[in-house]
Structure 1
Amino acid sequence: MQDLLTQVSRLTRPALLVRAARFGVDGYDRARHLGRALGSAAPARPGPALAQLLEREALLDRRRRSGKGDYSAARHTELLIAVMGEARALRAARAS
């Protein structure tokens, strides 16, 4: 299995989604946003949270690619912001 940060770096998503998420990641507040992004209680550490977020984001990306009517670009952006925020937190935790 790939390292979580490697998985994040290898994500290929539409440029507009990525730009929107990069714009929003500076305002990412783990305490406020992670539970909403996961739809459940947030894990204490960024690694498990990032793993859950990547699973949910992959499901949403499959919906996007299949053209399903229940796809939400706003929800996808929200998940990508959380992925980027948790990836930052994981990098910081590993650096210290």
Structure 2
Amino acid sequence: MQDILSMLSAIHRPRLLMRAARFGADTYRRDVHLPRLLGYGTLPRYGAALMQLMEMESALNAQRKADDTSYSLTRHIDVLIAIVAEARVMRAALS
């Protein structure tokens, strides 16, 4: 789990994106938001969910940097919100 948190700390995104993600993470509800992002069914554990979210975010960030027309800012922020909120829960569990 520590590796996941160190990987998260290495991610650098534009300040405005991260600010929106931190703001949205305050109202994040795992049981509502995570199925919409990862697909419906059994919710994965926090570590597995974070790994999937990080892969999705990496792809979205690559689209953003390439000025891809299929890039969705809303989706990117939603994924970042989930990452921030899941990481908060994981850090709290480790403390």
Please say whether Structure 1 and Structure 2 have the same fold, judged by a TM-score greater than 0.5.
Answer: yes
How many angstroms does 1:39 deviate by? 3.0
SS in 1 for 2:89: helix
1:28 and 2:34 matched: no
- What's the Cα RMSD here? 1.3
CA distance in 2, matches of 1:55, 1:40: 18
How big is each residue's C-alpha offset from its partner over 1:17-67, in whole Å with a ceiling of 9 and x where there is no partner? 111111100001101111112234321x21111011001100110111111
Q: Identity rate of aligned residues, in percent?
A: 49
| Counterpart residue number, 2:89 | 89
Following superposition of structure 1 onto structure 2, how do residues 71-90 of structure 1 map, counting pairs within 5 Å? 71-90=71-90
Aligned residues: 93
Q: Which residue of 2 aligns with 1:38?
A: 38
Partner of 1:16: 16
Shift of 1:15: 1.1
Deviates further, 83-92 or 32-41: 32-41
Tell me the equivalent position of 2:53. 53
Q: How does 1:55-70 map to 2 (within 5 A)?
A: 55-70=55-70
Distance 1:5 1:79 in 2: 16
Measure the CA separation in 1 of the matches of 2:6 and 2:40. Answer: 25
Task: Indicate the SS of the match to 2:11.
Answer: coil
SS in 1 for 2:27: coil
Q: Distance in 2 between matches of 1:9 and 1:37?
A: 22
Q: TM-score, normalised by structure 1?
A: 0.90
Q: Which amino acid aligns with 1:52?
A: Q
**Rounded Cα–Cα distance in structure 2 between residues aligned with 1:18 and 1:80:** 7
Quick one: structure 1 residues 83 and 26, their matched pair in 2 at CA, closer, same or farther if it must change by over 3 Å?
A: same
Distance 1:91 1:35 in 2: 21
